[in-house]
Structure 1
Amino acid sequence: MTITMDLSAGLTPEALFDLPKPASESRIVVAMSGGVDSSVVAALGAASGAEVIGITLQLYDYGAATGRKGACCAGDDISDARNVADRLGIAHYVFDHESAFREDVVEQFADEYLAGRTPVPCIRCNMGPKFTDLFKMARELGADCLATGHYVRRHIGAAGPELHRALDPARDQSYFLFATTEDQLDYLRFPLGGLPKSQVRELAEQAGLRNANKPDSQDICFVPDGDYAKIVKKMRPEGGASGPIVHAQTGETLGEHKGIVHYTVGQRRGLDIGGQPEPLYVVGLDAANRAVKVGPKIMLAVSSATVIETNRIGPLPDAPLTAKVRSLAKPVPITLDGPLGDGATTTIRFANPEFGVAPGQAAVIYAGERVVGGGWIESTTSAA
């Protein structure tokens, strides 16, 4: 069938993909999760006149996910992706990557929590199954590019492709893509980065897609109802072992917890240690001794962070740098003390004390709207 889509503002579906040759001679592989965003990317690809092939990676148990809301890459989402492909008249393939996903993402997620760290599995997924494996498949299929539904923008700068934040800051997903390599970025396309979500849903309606009003997926797709501790304890039962809640300043034992996996740095609620003269927060996790360390908010203040396994996208600019240590945080001014990229270790120094910085989180570095790179927080230095 012929798909037409009204983008307004002089945009065309073909322009959104920045293809190296005419669309009629091009092949686009689209990573289809079953959600509205990747479905609209597939529809835009079809509307451009290019040949479009949809690929869905089944990442976890199909049966257990059937009927679940807010998931992706399993259960009803695979069915939704297949129906969209049928509607658009494009080829669609489903590949079972459950074993790789479990090993590369879920197992590591559990191990990180057990070690008292705060993991970000969505980034690990992008670094592993979603990009590495999809890239290989797309190239084997002779595609001219691999397109996804991420809300980020790809710009061509003086030194080549650059990764920029989405036009709509409320939808920006650049934090989760800091590990994208320059070679990957050369091949990737993000057609939705310059569009608001409301327009994406309108485009889905125009194309007659059945999932036009489907709710957005949750952040951690394999964690039902947000109960991550349940998942960790199922995989690593020792994570539910009790231990002391210790005041980080006085060393006094204030209570007993029900498993270190229930706590993250910066947490205040759920400590069950009433009667204290001031509010106390989780300021550290001593996994070796199964201890949860608590203290006043000032103990969460961090002056710098050691960042490992760093990646750099494009040249490091002379312009002022900012960093985000959580996906929903605002970028804050920083300086770098050490190299960035090629897996090097560097130190991020915050211009002002930053709160709630935890080992295991990603630190993503920006120059204005451009993603310069980032890495994984290994340790922090207190500003208190």
Structure 2
Amino acid sequence: MKKKVLIGLSGGVDSSVAALLLLKAGYDVEGVFMRNWDSAANMDFKGNPTLYDEICEQERDYQDAKMVADKLGIVLHRVDFIHEYWDRVFSYFIDEYNKNRTPNPDVLCNNEIKFKAFVDYAQKFNPDYIAMGHYANIDHSGEYPRLLRAYDKNKDQTYFLSQLKTEQLKNVLFPIGHLTKSEVRKLAKKADLIT
């Protein structure tokens, strides 16, 4: 029986190629599109020339993810983490900023959304693993998983994953961690994944 993987699928090239590589490795793959921000609800008008377009940016991202999922022949689930993002990431960022501190929202988003809220959501599908299109590696050979730098030092994202606990990394895969960005783009082009 194939091992099941739920992958965060944004519709971008990195998560698209990560899903492709998982399929090629023989996994049963399903995608999950996470919606973490609502421009209209958050009054995000200034500096957003596409806000008044017929299709909002988040919907465009979802359509990209759906095209990738359809091309790969995988199921795509859609989940809103708007409230979780606001409560756990954005509000905290604003509070800290008002105290003259500058936390990194990407670090918070990975810890609170992609590797907490997403993992909690994923459990109802009983996956063996979750995966993301991050440029990072995990060594699962020892007693505990170890987060390792990506092969592409210019795209390495381990800093943004630095707050994850060992338990959060236990069943995680980063399929593109051994590739450079240019290699990822070449794989996407070869597979006709236009993202």
> Is the TM-score greater than 0.5?
yes
SS in 2 for 1:74: helix
Which residue among 151, 155, 162 is the counterpart of 1:178? Answer: 162
Report the number of matched residues: 184
Q: Which residue of 1 aligns with 2:78?
A: 94
Percent identity of the aligned residues? 36
Cα distance in structure 1, aligned partners of 2:83 and 2:145: 33
Give me the TM-score of the superposition, normalised by structure 1.
0.45
1:38 and 1:191 map into 2 onto residues whose CA distance is 9
Cα-Cα RMSD: 2.0
- Distance in 2, Cα, partners of 1:155 & 1:145: 14
Aligned amino acid, residue 68 of structure 2 = V
Please give the residue correspondences for 1:96-245 in structure 2 after superposition, counting only pairs within 5 Å.
96-211=80-195
**Ranges in structure 1 where 5+ consecutive residues have no aligned partner:** 1-23, 212-384
| Deviation for aligned residue 1:47 | 2.1
Structure 1 residue 62, shift from structure 2 partner:
5.6
Match of 1:32 in 2: 9
Distance in 1 (alpha carbons) for counterparts of 2:177 and 2:126: 25
Which deviations, in whole Å up to 9, do the C-alpha atoms of 1:189-229 show, x marking residues without a partner?
Answer: 01111100000011111221121xxxxxxxxxxxxxxxxxx
Q: CA deviation at 1:156?
A: 2.9
Give SS of 2:34's match.
strand
Q: Deviations over 1:273-329 (max 9, x none)?
A: xxxxxxxxxxxxxxxxxxxxxxxxxxxxxxxxxxxxxxxxxxxxxxxxxxxxxxxxx
Task: Report the equivalent of 2:54.
Answer: none
Deviations 1:69-102 (A, max 9, x none): xxxx924212111110011110001111111111
Alignment partner of 1:160: what SS? coil
1:311-354 residue CA offsets vs partner (Å, 9 max, x unmatched): xxxxxxxxxxxxxxxxxxxxxxxxxxxxxxxxxxxxxxxxxxxx
Native 8 Å contact 1:66 1:74 kept in 2: no
Question: Which residue, 10, 23, 26 being the options, matches 1:49?
Answer: 26
Alignment of 1:56-75 (within 5 A): 56-61=33-38, 67=50, 74-75=58-59
Deviation of residue 67 (structure 1)? 4.5
Residue of structure 2 in register with 1:249 after alignment: none
Point out the structure with the larger helix share. Answer: 2
Q: 1:49 Cα shift?
A: 2.8
CA distance in 2, matches of 1:161, 1:127: 16
Q: Quick one: which amino acid aligns to residue 96 of structure 1?
A: D
Q: Which has the higher contact order (CA 8 A, sep 6+)?
A: 2
Report the secondary structure of 2:29's partner residue: strand
The 1-side partners of 2:34 and 2:146 are apart by 26
User: Partner of 1:276 in structure 2?
Assistant: none
- Segments of 5+ residues of structure 2 without an aligned counterpart are 52-56
Question: SS of 2:77's equivalent?
Answer: strand
**Aligned 8 A contact 2:138 2:174 in 1:** yes
Name the CA distance, whole Å, in 1 between partners of 2:112 and 2:171: 16
Alignment deviations for residues 15-70 of structure 1 (CA, whole Å, 9 cap, x no partner)? xxxxxxxxx521110011221101111111222232211001101116667948xx
SS of the equivalent of 1:77 reads helix
Change beyond 3 A, Cα 1:99–1:116 = same
For 1:62 and 1:92, the matched residues in 2 are separated by: 23
Name 1:79's counterpart in structure 2: 63
